[in-house]
Amino acid sequence: MKKRVLFMIAILVVAGTFWGALDNIHPFGDVPVAPMDDYYIENAQQERSVNNVVTAVVFDYRGFDTLGEAAVLFTAVCSVLALFRKGREGQ
Amino acid sequence: MNPLSVVVRTICDIFTWFIGIFGIYIIIHGHMTPGGGFQGGAVVATMMAFLLVSHGGKKTLSFAKPGLYTAMETIGLLVFIGAGLFGITTTFFFNFLAGQGGVFGATVPIGPNSGVLNSAGTISIMNMAVGLEVIGGLSLIILYMFKGIRLFDNAAESGETGHDR
């Protein structure tokens, strides 16, 4: 019984938080004011001579992030090779 | 795993070429169309899974070279870091080749247009480097996971066959 009451209280708290968040949500289709986006879209062709602005952001303006992704892939491959390499039985 | 039937193998022999060409297209057009190094590399690495499933382990492992894939992965990551490091006089990951002329430095017209292939400077080089890395890495993962299957390990000794025949 006590457990059930605690569970109900937890559900109410979570639902209330979600309701508050929904009340505060950004309206759908309304473009937020973001000077960074406008800068990328206006200057990517001129500065980096790329048509694909997404690629310009991923590989140039935020290239350090992509370096991290490549390093994550490298680490994953290294760990898979370490896990599946041929070893003697029981080693 | 045993090889699948001759129909599957014939279709696979035809379509692996298209998969490879499509993946390389995605990689080298990364600065013009959606996609790029990661996506195109994953498409090309699908080729290895395709060959393993249709032709079976014995034939595919006889010509697949894990050393080559390891070299591709390492060289890809090194070229990526190097292309970022060469612009260090301005900032790390500065695009020092864009708009300078030459093979990678053509300028694109401002506004909506269909794009120039040899533009984008280091972005193009980085796309190819990341594509190389992803091809090598994912092919290595597929190969080594296939080698780790117990079914295939014991098949040679005990005469046990795969699940498909």
Query: Domain residues of chain B, as ranges?
Result: 6-158
Say whether pLDDT at A53 is over 50.
yes
Provide the shortest C-alpha distance from residue B64 to chain A (in Å): 16
Say whether pLDDT at A21 is over 80.
yes
Residue of A nearest to B29 (CA): A52
Q: Cβ of A53 under 8 Å from any chain B Cβ?
A: no
The strand pairing partners of B106, in sequence order, are B119
Q: Which residues are CB-neighbours of A12 under 8 A, at least 6 positions away? A: none
- Which residue pairs from A67-75 have beta carbons closer than 8 angstroms and sit at least 24 positions apart in sequence? A67/B80, A67/B81, A67/B84, A67/B93, A69/B38, A70/B76, A70/B77, A70/B80, A70/B130, A70/B133, A71/B77, A73/B133, A73/B134, A73/B137, A74/B73, A74/B77, A74/B133, A74/B137
Per-position pLDDT tens, chain B of length 165: 677 788 888 998 899 999 999 999 998 888 888 888 889 999 998 988 888 888 877 788 888 888 899 898 899 889 988 888 887 777 777 777 777 777 777 777 787 777 778 787 888 888 889 999 999 999 989 888 887 776 555 555 555 555 444
More confident residue, A86 or B81: B81
- pLDDT value at residue B164: 47
Determine whether the interchain pair B31/A50 forms a contact, defined as Cβ–Cβ distance below 8 Å.
yes
φ and ψ of B119, to 5 deg: -115, -170
Q: Cβ of B12 under 8 Å from any chain A Cβ?
A: no
- pLDDT value at residue A17: 92
Residue carrying structure tokens 């508050």: A20
Determine whether the interchain pair B36/A59 forms a contact, defined as Cβ–Cβ distance below 8 Å.
yes
Q: Is the dihedral of CA A67, A73, A79, A85 positive or negative?
A: negative
Of the candidates A55, A63, A74, which has its C-beta nearest B93's C-beta? A63
- pLDDT value at residue B153: 52
- pLDDT value at residue B43: 92
Q: Cβ of B42 under 8 Å from any chain A Cβ?
A: no
- Mean predicted confidence (pLDDT) in A52-73: 86
- State the Cα angle at A52 between A48 and A54, rounded to 5°: 95
Q: Which residues are CB-neighbours of B97 under 8 A, at least 6 positions away? A: B104, B105, B121, B122, B125
- pLDDT value at residue A89: 55
- pLDDT value at residue A12: 95
